[in-house]
Each structure stands twice: as C-alpha cells, then as structure tokens.
Structure 1
C-alpha cells in the first residue's frame, strides 16, 4: 500500500478523533522531536508496520485504555487500523511511561505464539490470546468484537491463508468457532479457550 492510500494523523496533540471500522491512519515518523502517546478511548485497533519489506507486519492490538508510544515504532511510522469503531487521541508522553509499552508486550506474546511447532497450535493460541485480551465472556461463548481475515490470521501465525482457512473450517464444523457475517464478531467455544496450548 502506498503512503497516499493512508490518512495521516498530525503529530501535535489533537482533540479525540473517531474512525469507522476498517479505516486506517498513518502515524507519520517525520515529526518525532517530542515523544507522543496514542491513547485508545473506545474500540479495538491493530497497529502495523507500513514498510514494504514487512508487508504490513502486525505490531500490536490495542483496546480502550491502552496507550502506545509512537516514537518507538518503525522508522517508516506505523499504521492504526480500526477493527471496530474507534475513538482515540494523541498526547505528550508522561514521565511514568518510560518502561514497557503495549507494542513490546504484544510482540512478546505474538512471538510465543509463533514459536509453537504446528500451525493448528499457533492459530489456537492466537485466538485464545485475542479473546483473553480483547474479547468478552458471554453465557455460552467467548466473543471478539471484530473479525480478522484468513490472510491476517496467516500473517500472525506464519502460515498460508489456505492452511488458516482449512483449520477454521474444521473448527466451525465442530462448533468450536463461529464467525458472524451479520455483526462481524468471532465467537469461540469455552472448550476451545480452555484447551489452549499457551496460558495468557
């Protein structure tokens, strides 16, 4: 994707901004004289690297209350993709935000997932990681408030889209996963969540 395909987010502090689902903004790396923080106020988003070499590599997922230091990201900046309706703001870094941030923590967890030997284990662990961090418990399932494409799942677990589709189809047929096209959510059965190959 070329830089012209993105909406740019200004570097100075701005009033809260709203974005509809599936819109993306580019955090421009050009004005990094002062460290800033992106704070998610409502919704869920994916932060990824816009570099051609990394092909949109996912760095983190953020939800309401998460703060991300924008000066520690890729030299080409970073993109924020709204997975749900999103409201966020940009502010100066406070003195207490000098340690580990959301990208570091997510990167660690995604590396743990990628380290598992089989694609099925990696996809299973990824779904549980996402639902534990970004989802909610319902009476009969765990639910993510968004859906990811099979291609995105493949990118996150180091597998092809075909492999991801095959695994998700198998779990759908076993009533372990449901991906609603009506409300664009993903539901996981308690059995799938409780049998995760990793604990988060």
Structure 2
C-alpha cells in the first residue's frame, strides 16, 4: 500500500483524494499535533502487521485526531471521500471528547453481538447515523466499503459479508448503482438496529 506522510510541522490545509492514505507516526512529531477534518470522510486504522489494518474510527467534518493518543506504530488515515485536513500544534491536555475513542467503543460493541447478520445490521446503522443522510425514502452513505473491509469490521469473512450484503439487496433493504460511491439503505433497516447509537 502506498502512503503519503503527514508534514512534520503544523501546516495549512491538506487535500487527500479518495483511496489515498496518510501515515501518521507519533514518533515523527516533536510536539503533539491535532489533525482536524475540514471536509470529507476518513477511516482511521492501525498500520501494525499484527492487526492487519484494524479499523479504529471514521472521521468527518469537525472531528479531530491527536497524535499524542496514537500507538507506537501510529495510525493511517484513509480518505473515503474527498478529504481536506489541517494540522495544528496543541498541548497534550488529555481532556475533552475524543472521536476516535468513541468510534472504537461503538465498533467494539458491534463486534460483541452474537450473529454476523446482527453485527452487519448494527454497523450499517452506526455508519448511517454518524456519516449518512436521509433523502426521501432512503438513507444514504456517501462512500462504499469493500466486502473484505465489512468482514473486518463485523468479525467475519469476506464471503460471509458478501452473502449478507446480497441478502439485504435481494430484500430491497440496500441499493447501489454501478459506478457510484453512494450506498442507499432502507430507513426500516436503520431504525431496527440491534444497538442504539
């Protein structure tokens, strides 16, 4: 995988196209940096070989990532949509809301549901409630995840994820159009989540 490296010093706006990844290594920075998401949606994941790209969080406009809260190997930030970030120097205070920790907690809650179908249902509900929008009769996510990534998020195989996604498509609970990044989901699916978010 190709990585783009975050500048060592605080900088202005950084644009990242969908599919590109920025590696943030906490040991590369002499001071704590705060990464602000100005626009777009990103996936934050662990670059460690042992965890195989485990997703820690999703970030959107207004969310922050502090470099003093990273593991020794740092984290990767993958642009799921057109992404614009800024970095600023910040004193490490350890106080306040941390969007990465909140996402990690919610993803752990999902992983503890008993069946893969329940976990997928809860994951889609979480993504729509945090990152999606309601348009008419459908809820919309502005990006797609691969079946392999969905499997990683719900603790199943790619094959299981593909089977479950096909079941939702056949039940007219999920729609995708070829060539479009958007996923449309039925509000009934989102409103009947096995977890509340």
Whether the aligned pair in 2 keeps the contact of 1:7 and 1:26 (CA below 8 Å) is yes
Contiguous gaps of at least 5 residues in structure 1: none
For these two proteins, the number of residue pairs brought into alignment is 197
- The alignment yields a C-alpha RMSD, in angstroms, of 1.4
Choose from 125, 131, 141 the match for 1:144: 141
Q: How high is the TM-score relative to the length of structure 2?
A: 0.95
**TM-score, normalisation: structure 1:** 0.94
User: Distance in 2 between the 1:142 and 1:97 partners?
Assistant: 36
CA contact (8 A) 1:10 1:28 kept: no
Per mean C-alpha deviation after superposition, the further-off stretch among 100-109 and 129-138 is 100-109
Runs of 4+ in 1 over 6 A off after TM superposition: none
Could you tell me how far apart the structure 2 residues matched to 1:133 and 1:94 are? 28
What residue number does 1:172 align with?
Answer: 169
- 1:76 matches 2:54: no
For residues 4 and 29 of structure 2, what CA distance do their matches in structure 1 show? 18
Structure 2 residue ranges without an equivalent (≥5): none
1:112 is aligned, of 109, 128, 135, to: 109
3-state DSSP of counterpart to 2:113: coil
Residues in 2 aligned to 1:132 and 1:180: alpha-carbon distance in whole angstroms: 21
1:163 aligns with 2:127: no
